Amino acid sequence: MTDYSASMAIIADDLTGAMDTGLQFAQQRLETLVIMDPTIGTAAQVMVYSTESRELSASLSARRLTELLPRVKDRLVYKKIDSTLRGNIGYELRALASLADVRAIVVAPAFPPGGRTTTGGEQFVHGKPLAMSEIRHDPRWPMRESHVPTLLMQQAGMEVGLVDQAIVTQGHEAIARALSDQASRIIVVDATTSDDLCQIARALHTLGSAWIPCGSAGLAQSWAAQLAVGGQAADAPTFTPSGGAALFVCGSRNPDTLRQVTHLAETGTVQVTLDVQGSYDEERELARVTQEACAALGQLQDTLLEACTEPLLPGAGPRITRILGGVAQAAAESCLLGGLFMTGGDVAIAICRRLGVQALRIVSEIQPGLPGAQIVGGLADGLPAATKAGGFGTEEALVDVRRWFNEVRQGEGACPAIREGA
């Protein structure tokens, strides 16, 4: 059995996924850093890396992961994937499975609290097969395949095994035996409940570090809970005092995010909408939305900057991302920010780069899969921040983020486990 007091590394393919997975370890009293600048001198027990490879070609995505592996060779590894299977998952897993000390990668993509389950190898979203869910129409990753082993086999070009629900319900010992009997280097495991994920995590704990856990934040939560950590709880962070207002930057077009944006605007937050057609004149549109957003922030009004209520304009994504990042940079340079929320993985990473962020220290769970963090380094050093994957969170998600920002100002925003030393 592996010594699970060792340090850990999480590998994700986008920033929001890195954040919501790192959150599961922060809740186990572990100092958790999501790394933006690989040259950062600070280390933590849990280091979370994003290859930012979801939108890349398959070959470049695999290369990004391979280049990262030397940085994590002395750590236990968890591979984070999207619960709706977006990205170059199979290609990345083939690169990971090629390591000599990897016996197999165990893939459990279920996230039951978010309605993502796996039965008979089929991935379901709120009871619908993935290929019949709203993800079928995702503008970037339209999913046409629900059977996880088939999808991974098509991408990885290697055999993919399956441990089905009938075995999972027998508990971790049965799961461990079934995994050991598999010859495949990639093995999918069914899960329909959080307890199923706990049993899978216990099986992986038994099998040891040659078996790499791979899943969404759901399996990460269960695996983190298995770690025999010991030692002192991480210290609660000290946030930089700021009288500024919160800026919410929303670039995701996911229907869940759209509902959250609409609800936040209805509660009185100032709404600044980027004109997607106007983004053709990028400099002019940047000046316009910067003036509007900074004027509201300067009056200490929480401000929602969004590009998700406008009609979709193919090819406009990079321009929109640059404009949203430019507004955030202008607000930070003017010292107008008291909190920063970002959704849309490409938007979040662009903003962090514009601000010179070195890392994000995860400190709280605002909602399941919605972490609160502290910015490390750059123009907004010490500022509270939050990120969210597009399809996560209730309608109240952004309202809850705003509430958390207010709690941080009052010194109440750390994880309860960390704050109380539980």
Beta-bridge partner residues of 186:
105, 160
Residue 84 banded pLDDT, cuts 50, 70, 90: very high
State which residues form the domain around 180: 8-226
Considering 226, 261, 276, which residue would you say is the last residue of a domain? 226
Is 255 found in the same domain as 126?
Answer: no
Same domain, 222 and 133: yes
- Kindly list the strands in the beta sheet with 122-125, ordered across the sheet, starting from the edge strand earlier in the chain: 116-119, 122-125, 128-129
Instruction: Answer with the one of 191, 226, 261 that is the final residue of a domain.
Output: 226
Domain identity same for 217 and 273 = no
Region 142-169: mean pLDDT is 96
In whole angstroms, what is the distance from residue 258 CA to residue 121 CA? 30
Residue 390 lies in a domain: yes
Mean pLDDT, all residues of the chain: 89
Residue 93 identity (one-letter amino acid): L
Residue whose C-alpha is closest to residue 161's, from 190, 183, 192, 129: 183
DSSP 237: P
Same domain assignment for residues 146 and 186: yes
Residue 125, in any domain of the structure: yes
**Average pLDDT, integer, range 106-112:** 96
pLDDT of residue 233: 54
Residues 184 and 265 in one domain: no
Domain tally, the chain: 2
Same domain, 25 and 87: yes
Statement to judge: residues 18 and 47 lie in one domain: yes
Structural domain includes residue 293: yes
Q: What is the pTM of this model?
A: 0.86
Per-residue tokens: 349: 């990473």
420 in a structural domain: no
The SS3 of residue 244 is coil
Buried b (16+ CB within 10 A) or exposed e, 166-197: ebbeeebebbbebbeebebbbbbbbbbeeebb
Residue 85 within any structural domain of the chain? yes
User: pLDDT band at residue 422, thresholds of 50, 70 and 90?
Assistant: very low
CB-CB contact of 110 with 83 (8 Å):
yes
Predicted confidence at residue 234, as pLDDT, reads: 59
The predicted structure's pLDDT at residue 420: 35
With residue 273 as reference, give the H or E element that holds it: strand 270-273
Q: Where are the beta strands (DSSP E) in 126-258?
A: 128-129, 160-163, 186-189, 211-215, 245-250
Percent of the chain with pLDDT over 70: 92
The domain that holds 204 is classified in CATH as 3.40.50.10840
Q: How confident is the model at residue 241 (pLDDT cuts 50, 70, 90)?
A: low
Would you state the structure tokens that stand for residue 264, as one six-digit string? 């936040």
Torsion of CA 320, 325, 331, 333, to 10 degrees: -140
Strands 370-376 and 384-388: antiparallel
Residue ending a domain, choose from 199, 226, 253: 226
Is 261 in the same domain as 399? Answer: yes
- Domain contains 234: no
CATH code (residue 360): 3.40.980.20
Which residue is listed with tokens 């290929």?
A: 131
3-state secondary structure of 347: helix
For 353-419, the DSSP string reads HHHT--EEEEEEEEETTEEEEEEESSTTTT-EEEEE-TT-S-TTHHHHHHHHHHHHHTT--S-HHHH
Residues 170 and 287 in one domain: no
Do the beta carbons of residue 211 and residue 103 sit within 8 Å? yes
C-alpha 38/C-alpha 49 separation (Å) is 9
Question: Quick one: pLDDT at residue 231?
Answer: 42
Same domain, 155 and 115: yes
Is 240 inside any structural domain? no
Element (DSSP H or E) covering residue 28: none
Banded pLDDT at 256 (limits 50, 70, 90): confident
Same domain, 301 and 174: no
Question: What is the Cα–Cα distance from 410 to 380, expressed in whole angstroms?
Answer: 19
On whether residue 163 sits in a domain, the answer given is yes
The H or E element containing residue 46 is: strand 46-50
CB 130 within 8 A of CB 98: no
What does the pLDDT average to over 125-131?
94
What per-residue confidence (pLDDT) applies to 28? 86
Q: pLDDT band at residue 369, thresholds of 50, 70 and 90?
A: confident
Residue type, 53: S
Instruction: Answer yes or no: is pLDDT of 358 > 80.
Output: yes
pLDDT of residue 4: 44
Residues 353 and 282 in one domain: yes
Choose the weakest-confidence range: 23-27, 81-85, 140-144, 303-307. Answer: 140-144
